[in-house]
Chains A and B, each alone.
Chain A
Amino acid sequence: MGDNLNELPRSVIRIPVAGPKPNNTLVFVRGFIAQPSVVDDDLARTWVTFDTLFRIDGFLQRKADEYLQNTRISMTAYTENLAQVDDGAFVGAVDEVEGYLTNDGALKGKALIADMDTKVELTLGFYFSAWVLTYEPRAAEFPKPDPRKWGIRQKGQLNEEMSRGRRTDHDRVTIVKDGCHAEPAANSLRLEKYFADRALRRAQGASSTSGHPKRRRKNYEGEEGG
């Protein structure tokens, strides 16, 4: 599995959920717990830490307490493979497992592995599956640029301004902010001119489509009508 990006969509699934607040994301993660082969007559129990492919998007270290308080992890582990090269008594076990977050928002796990083998080499492998309930900022929650400063029009804003018969001046000038120059969007100006012309034509009693070459209606014989 390792660090291959191809494995990510196969092993990590994010599901939007409603809570409990502030959590908004439920994540399923699966993966393997690497375990070396053993040849040991005595039963040995060892805590093994392992990486997972999941890392909290937008993790903020300064909010570590909140992640610790609210994030929930539910993890279990199973035997993935068990092999011997010859007859021999053996024990292969994952006795306990638990997940935890690292200081950079990654999910790691630790498992209590027990193994014993007499005479011959025992190969053991385990896999885990985990669910994580946590908070990840969503695209809609990122701060948006201020439309009053950057000439960006909100949906319906243009018609609202036109209907009130006033225009804002800030999108007619070059805006300087933090050393960056931003020209007002050319498309929005063209669109504004079109709407203004159309409103004028309507006021003069003209057809709403006759003045625009692309909107001229044609009759069923393909002749342009007035």
Chain B
Amino acid sequence: MTIQLNRINSDQVKSWQYIETTLIDPNRRLHIMSGIAIPAWEINDDSKIYRDLCEVRLGVTLPDFIQATCQVGLASVSNGESSFLFALDEAWVEPDKTSGELILFVRLALNGEDSSLARFGFQIVALAGNRITGVSGHIRWARSLFDASQFTDGSKLASVTANLVERITPPQGFEFDKLTPLGGNAPGGDVHRDGDDFSMPYSFEHLPLGVPLRFTVNLSAGHFPFDCSPGQTSGPFTVLLTPTHVSESVDFRVSQNNVVR
């Protein structure tokens, strides 16, 4: 059985640090990812060697992926006074065939009584083209609704969440969309005055390809009137990024008891 981890879950990957750099070659970018994965694999048998595959979803989608290398090493092991074996036999990185998201694969081996291969460190260097997947846009509201002249940092006012959309069809009743946050909100950027409106930008990068996404706005408490709600004003309601359509624009407007869509 494969051990599946996702770096957006801090119980599954610690110390995640990501660098994206543009190279002297203007057509390529280098992506560097580091962290400590937590397979938390335990066995209690020193009579044979157990082997398993660990997959770490890295949350970075590279539509023009070229090449990647990785280094892994044991980070946390334990044993209960028996013969033991801890091993990371093989490691490689591949993009997911559907979503293009990079996945780290590591073959683990473990032996011993009360033995645990709890964590391993990893570092990945990936080369790709310039295109990155993403969704960006603005959140707008009227000055009469909330005068944000005192604010420059929009992150204190609102944030946007990217959600995976899954259509659920129960045996009885109506079908509905289940939203699962991808993890990590995009805080609003700098607040700008735009005529009688205020606006602030947001952006998501490295969103997965080929999966339906929906974006929702979360207003911080204490600023907008309590009966305000954000509604989408432009862009597709459900976003589907593909290798030929890697970015999309989605705008929102906060208004009083008036959901646009």
Q: Which residues of A contact B (CB under 8 A)?
A: 16-20, 23, 26, 72-79, 82, 87-99, 114, 116, 118, 127, 129-131, 133
* Residues in B whose Cβ lies below 8 Å from that of A93: 75-78, 118-119
* Residues in B whose Cβ lies below 8 Å from that of A20: 20-22
Known A91-B78, A96-B14, A131-B32; contact A26-B123, beta-carbon cutoff 8 A: no
* Residues in B whose Cβ lies below 8 Å from that of A72: 17, 19
A126 to chain B, nearest CB (A): 8
By the criterion CB–CB under 8 Å, are B34 and A89 in contact?
no
By the criterion CB–CB under 8 Å, are B34 and A131 in contact?
yes
Residue of B nearest to A21 (CB): B22
What is the predominant secondary structure among interface residues of chain B facing chain A? strand
Is B175 part of the binding interface, using a Cβ–Cβ cutoff of 8 Å?
no
30 contacts between A and B (CB under 8 A): A17-B23, A17-B24, A18-B23, A18-B26, A19-B22, A74-B34, A74-B123, A76-B15, A76-B34, A76-B36, A76-B122, A76-B123, A78-B73, A78-B75, A79-B73, A89-B79, A89-B81, A89-B114, A91-B77, A91-B78, A93-B76, A94-B75, A96-B36, A97-B15, A97-B36, A98-B17, A116-B78, A127-B73, A131-B19, A131-B123
* Residues in A whose Cβ lies below 8 Å from that of B121: 76-78, 94, 97
* Residues in B whose Cβ lies below 8 Å from that of A87: 81
CA distance A87 to B26 in the complex (A): 56
CA distance A118 to B79 in the complex (A): 11
Known A18-B23, A88-B81; contact A76-B76, beta-carbon cutoff 8 A: no
CA distance A20 to B130 in the complex (A): 12
What is the predominant secondary structure among interface residues of chain A facing chain B? strand
CA distance A123 to B24 in the complex (A): 44
CA distance A18 to B22 in the complex (A): 5
Is B74 part of the binding interface, using a Cβ–Cβ cutoff of 8 Å?
yes
Is B238 part of the binding interface, using a Cβ–Cβ cutoff of 8 Å?
no
Residue of A nearest to B120 (CB): A78
CA distance A33 to B223 in the complex (A): 47
B80 to chain A, nearest CB (A): 5
CA distance A43 to B55 in the complex (A): 28
* Residues in B whose Cβ lies below 8 Å from that of A92: 76-78
* Residues in A whose Cβ lies below 8 Å from that of B77: 79, 82, 91-93
By the criterion CB–CB under 8 Å, are B119 and A95 in contact?
yes
By the criterion CB–CB under 8 Å, are A16 and B15 in contact?
no
* Residues in A whose Cβ lies below 8 Å from that of B71: 129
By the criterion CB–CB under 8 Å, are B122 and A89 in contact?
no
Is B85 part of the binding interface, using a Cβ–Cβ cutoff of 8 Å?
no
